[in-house]
Amino acid sequence: MKALTATDFKFPNQTGVYHGKVRDVYSVGEDKLVMVATDRISAFDVVLPKGIPYKGQMLNQIAAKFLDATADICPNWKLATPDPMVTVGVKCKGFPVEMIVRGYLCGSAWRTYQSGVREICGVKIPDGMRENQAFPTPIITPTTKAEQGQHDEDISKEEILKRGLVSPEEYALLEKYTLALFQRGTEIAAKRGLILVDTKYEFGTHNGEIYLMDEIHTPDSSRYFYADEYQKRFDKGEPQKQLSKEFVREWLMANGFQGKAGQQVPEMTDAIVDGITDRYMELYEHITGEKFVKEETGHLAERIERNIKNYLASC
């Protein structure tokens, strides 16, 4: 199995390219973006040294399905998926914030809570909560959208408005869309025996209208629990069986890595890499209800470039 960890395409009418932590985004013409979901994987804002075979295909296909399944809630950027690892969409001017929505106290929020903090991004959290406990209603805990090489930072709604990062009218719509998208994702997950625990959304504007951008409800941007085991495990204080990238973070932390200066990424053996692929495949099949079909990986870059060029030529 081969993993796609880098691209260097040259498309007709290409005007720029941005290599993110896991996606490479090519600007074509005035108003199109070609997003290639590579097999790179990141944690703690660090790109890990090995790619995960089929990860890009799985994330791109999950995101495409959810963009289609939520298009009635708000406009989104997707135009087409000319390759299993590619989405082409309209170019938007992104807001400098990410909308994080949480239905349960876990992950980084739990680690913050454990340290004694009782307010996250301006949202007060009551005393006495336990790990993986549901909030009475989902909460929104935004972060800044950091520049390349920098860390996202928690920020409150009040600070976002004070800094003028988003107007009050725009923020009200972002909140409305965020909660509606999370509710739709929760309903779809429930039909598959899963709980959508938390996720993030990115928004931007196109022709003066707010659009949902980027991926949605993938294991890179979301966390899922298995519904049938949730209450039993919670009552016993046991870790939840989950489908998300958190297991990668936990493996890194168990091996002394949290992205801090001087720390070394632990060795990614073939067994570790294969295990991560298997976990991503497990989520794909659970959340979509479909068997994952592995595309041929022998000539990934050539296939992707050909499919994108054919699509662009047809526009």
Residue-range domain boundaries for the chain: 14-93+271-314, 94-244
Q: What pLDDT does residue 149 have?
A: 52
Cβ 189 vs Cβ 211: under 8 Å: no
Fold (CATH) for 94-244: D-amino Acid Aminotransferase; Chain A, domain 1 (3.30.470)
Q: How confident is the model at residue 151 (pLDDT cuts 50, 70, 90)?
A: low
Q: What is the overall mean pLDDT for the chain? A: 94
The encoded tokens of residue 215 equal 């991926």
The answer to whether residue 146 scores a pLDDT higher than 80 is: no
* 53-78 mean pLDDT: 97
pTM over 0.95: no
Q: Which 8-state DSSP code applies to residue 240?
A: P
Q: How far apart are CA 90 and CA 78, in angstroms?
A: 7
First-residue to last-residue Cα distance in the chain: 33
Please report which confidence band the pLDDT of residue 150 belongs to, taking 50, 70 and 90 as the band edges: low
- Yes or no: domain 14-93+271-314 corresponds to CATH 3.30.200.20: yes
Tally helices (H) and strands (E) across the chain: 8, 17
Encode pLDDT of 52-65 as tens digits: 999 999 999 999 99
Two structure tokens written together for 241:
């069986």
